[in-house]
Amino acid sequence: MKAIKGPAIFLAQFAGDAPPFNSLATIADWAAGLGFKGVQIPTWDRRLFDLAKAAESQTYCDEVKGALAERGLQVTELSTHLQGQLVAVHPAYDTAFDAFAAPEVRGKPAARTAWAVEQLKLAARASRRLGVTEHATFSGALAWPYVYPWPQRPAGLIETAFDELARRWRPILDAFDEQGVNACFEIHPGEDLHDGVTFEMFLQRVGGHQRCNLLYDPSHFVLQQLDYLAYLDLYHERIRMFHVKDAEFNPTGRQGVYGGYQPWTERAGRFRSLGDGQVNFKAIFSKLAQYDYPGWAVLEWECCLKHPEDGAREGAKFIADHIIRVTEHAFDDFAGAGTDVAANRRMLGVA
C-alpha cells in the first residue's frame, strides 16, 4: 500500500494583490511556514505563474521547481478550472463566463472555445516540463440548464450535448496523453460532469480514454446528497487527485438542495473549513489508503464563515493528522506458520 502525499494547498483561493499572496515566492514562504509540502498552482493567475512560458521553457519550469524546493515545497499539480469551463459554455452563461477568458476573445464564443482548448494543451506541456503527472480541470457544460427541466427535455437533447462535449474533449485528452499527463475532472455542480452517472456517460463517449480521470472532492457530494464513500468504491481506479474540502447539509422546512437562491451563509448546503463540516474524512483517508491512491491530499479552502488564513493553518494540521502511515505487514503475521504446500494440502484433506 502507498501512503498519501501531503499536506498540500490549492493556491487559487489565496492569491491576491497584497503580500504575501501576490507572487509565487512569497505565497510559497507562507505555505511552507504553515507546514504544507506541496502547492497546486492555478494557471490563469499571472501573479503566480506564466502558463505560456511554462509550456515552452524548461528553464522557467526548472526555476519554478527550484524556488519551491528552496522552501521545502513541490508542485503537486497545475489547474485549469477556469479554462476548462470555457471548453463548453451554454449560451445562457456567455456573459457570466466571459470574465474567465482573455480580453481579446470575450464576446466571441467560438474564439473563446478555441482559446480555452489551446490553454489546456499548453497546460499539458507545462505539466510535463514540471514533472507532474496529474492535472486539475472542469469539463464545462452544455446541458446544465436542463438538469431539472420544465417543460420536459426533448428526446435526444442530453445525448447530443454529451456527444458534443466528448467531441471537444477528445483531442485535448489526446494532447494530454502525448505528454504523459492525466486530465482529472473535478465532479462539480454547474459542470456536465457533476456525478458518477454523468462521468460514465462522458467516459463512454471518449472511448474509455486512459487520460480521462477524476479529481475527488467530497464536499460537492455532500451538497448533492450523493454517497461520497460508495463513490470511492465505484471509481477509485480513475481517482488521481483529491481536494480535501469540508461541507455541511442541514435541510429545513423552507429549503433543501437548491438553496432557495440564498447567499452562502443562508443555504442548507454550505462549504466549511476542514473539521467544521460533516464530511467523514477518517473513512475517506482509510478508503484511499485501502485503494492505493497514488497522489496528494490538497486543501481547497472554501468557507462562508472562517477567515481563509485560519482555515489554511488549521487545514495543514488536519490533513497531516489524517494521512495514514500504511502498514508494511499484516497485523497477524506474528502467528503465521510460513508456507508449506504439503501442510496446506493435509489441512484441506487433499491427497
Between helix 196-205 and helix 157-179 the angle, nearest 10°, is 70
pLDDT(277) > 70: yes
pLDDT(326) > 70: yes
Q: Tell the residue number behind the cell numbers 494440502, with chain if given.
A: 345
Assess contact for 294 and 326: CB atoms under 8 A.
no
For the chain, the domain total comes to: 1
Q: 48, exposed or middle or buried, with CB in 10 Å at 0-12, 13-18, 19+? A: buried
Rounded Cα gap, residues 167 and 148, in angstroms = 24
Per-residue pLDDT tens digits for 118-135: 999 999 999 999 999 999
Per-residue pLDDT tens digits for 6-50: 999 999 999 999 999 999 999 999 999 999 999 999 999 999 999
Q: How far apart are the first and last CA of the chain?
A: 36
Chain centroid offset of residue 345 CA: 49
Per-residue pLDDT tens digits for 237-261: 999 999 999 999 999 999 999 999 9
3-state secondary structure of 242: strand
Dihedrals phi, psi of 248, to nearest 5 degrees: -140, 150
Distances (CA, A) of 101 to 92, 115, 226, 246, 248: 16, 8, 32, 29, 32
Percent of the chain at pLDDT exceeding 90: 92
Range of the domain at 9: 5-348
Rounded Cα gap, residues 204 and 197, in angstroms = 11
Assess contact for 21 and 42: CB atoms under 8 A.
no
The CATH number of the domain where 15 resides is what?
3.20.20.150
Assess contact for 267 and 255: CB atoms under 8 A.
yes
What single-letter DSSP state applies at residue 333? Answer: G
Res 344: pLDDT: 87
